[in-house]
A and B are shown apart, each in its own frame.
Chain A
Amino acid sequence: MTSTTDGHIVKRFDEEMQEMHDGVLQMGALARRQIRQAVKSLQAEDPSAARNVIERDSDVNELDKILNAQVEQILARRQPMASDLREILTIEKIATDLERVGDEASKIAQLAVHFFEKQSAVPNYQLLSEVTKTARFVESMLQESLEAFDEKHLDRACNVIRMGSELDGEFRTSIRHLTTFVMEDSRTIGHFIDIVLGIRALERIGGHAKNIGGYVIYLLTGRDVRHEPLDQLLREISL
């Protein structure tokens, strides 16, 4: 439920809430850029670009700390209730998930360093294409979840949850493709294992995006949907 009045009687409260809201979007934009840059560093066979991604993870961590401090302050000073309280708790949880997204993006960048700096043989492009495909999907999930938060959009939040179910299928398909490739050429087994780890990291990013979708549903409805089956959830929200 969002207010239909002109805002909080104490304007500073609304400003602080907006500041945190914007902080989440800033952190989300940075996390998405990290994913894109990590995957690009793999495609471009660029370990230096990959090292930049790894270094920039500290920026994501810093934003997490700032947001958590703001949450603590506003809880102590303002004693927010109802939708304000839910929004603040949601912001805290989203920040945690975005920090983890940053970590997973770093792991993907680590792959580029591993392949193109430390190894003599680079992985086959067909193996890397599975990473690119999965990365596109999870980045769109993350975008959808952050826009659902920004717009307080219940439909889009539910859409992210649906995409989470699709991601499971995408992941299994990728593993099947990779397995087929390795069976044709067993010398690629080493790269296969590394690529699977990369895709796992992306799958976890998708999981975090799905979490964010769930937090937005909680923000808008007050209902914790984290462990509920999708079809039951959608029925009850009547979408």
Chain B
Amino acid sequence: MSAPDSNIGVTFPRDHRETVGQIEHPNFKIRCRDLNVFYGENQAIFDVSLDIGSNEVIAMIGPSGCGKSTLIRCFNRMNDTINGCRVDGSIEMDGEDVNSNEIDVVLLRARVGMVFQKPNPFPKSIYENVAYGPRIHGLTNGKEELDSAVESSLLRAGLWDEVADRLDEPGTGLSGGQQQRLCIARAISINPEVILMDEPCSALDPIATARIEELIDELKRNYSIAIVTHSMQQAARVSQRTAYFHLGYLIEVGETEKIFTNPSHQLTEDYITGRFG
């Protein structure tokens, strides 16, 4: 369902649960339809349908527990690691059902990378953090190619200049912001197609946050990015589309500028103006 633009002042009341706005993207990378997710008996996501576009940044916002992280974890089947988690509905990437038994989950997670809230570099050197993925996936031939892949990833993550002369030092010795960029370098070293970011800046200071946001803007040229964030200002700054979730429902999705200046659903309005509760 979409809110017709020609009807000035049309608003959907708070109890309206069907998604408002454009769930489709003309150039989608991931297509999710009628998704329901359960943790045991508890349902966390209700009938969510949403496209993730190619080379776009889509922000997922909503109060704690609304299902944002659960949703993005479905895209690379990270929810498989949770006992009792059940996913119904369809998630397709490039026409393939990601939940199919024929899908290689390891390969899926290489194509759909993830960056987490708390930076989690491996307890290895900076070099090895980035080299690990290409090595185990057999993406490079020989040391020279591997060195080149590491340098390229660190360059694209905006970290190369800061670590080029100390690649043998432990990744855990970097600052929080540097560690997060290292994790991004690690994710992109295996040439993913989609990058999922679950509150990637919430543990970082404002300057480190700004660097990550700048990086996200550059990365979207080559990747599709879905970012979960509690900061509406961040969602407004970095994304082209924004999806608002409430109690497991996708309430509204649309162009970020519209969502933050003139949302169509009362719940969205209440949340982003701080009147939710």
Whether the Cβ atoms of A220 and B274 lie closer than 8 Å is no
B24 within 8 A of A: no
B34 within 8 A of A: no
Residues of A within 8 A of B236 (CB): 81
Secondary structure class of chain A's binding surface, majority of residues = loop
Bitwise, B1-34 to A at CB < 8 A (1) or not (0) is: 0000011110100100000000000000000000
Chain A residues bordering chain B, tally (CB within 8 A)? 26
Residues of B within 8 A of A13 (CB): 274
A71 within 8 A of B: no
Whether the Cβ atoms of A10 and B274 lie closer than 8 Å is yes
Whether the Cβ atoms of B9 and A3 lie closer than 8 Å is no
A121 within 8 A of B: no
Whether the Cβ atoms of A9 and B232 lie closer than 8 Å is no
B260 within 8 A of A: yes
Residues of B within 8 A of A223 (CB): 8
Residue of B nearest to A13 (CB): B274
Known: A81-B232, A221-B8, A236-B8. A5 touches B270 (CB 8 A): yes
Residue of B nearest to A5 (CB): B275
A46 within 8 A of B: no
Residue of A nearest to B233 (CB): A79
Residues of B within 8 A of A4 (CB): 14, 266, 270
List 5 extra interface pairs beyond A9-B277, A82-B268, A221-B262, CB under 8 A.
A5-B270, A6-B275, A79-B233, A82-B273, A237-B9
| Residues of chain B having any CB pair with chain A under 8 Å | 6-9, 11, 14, 232-233, 236, 260-263, 266, 268-270, 272-277
| Residues of chain A having any CB pair with chain B under 8 Å | 1, 3-10, 13, 79-86, 154, 220-223, 236-238
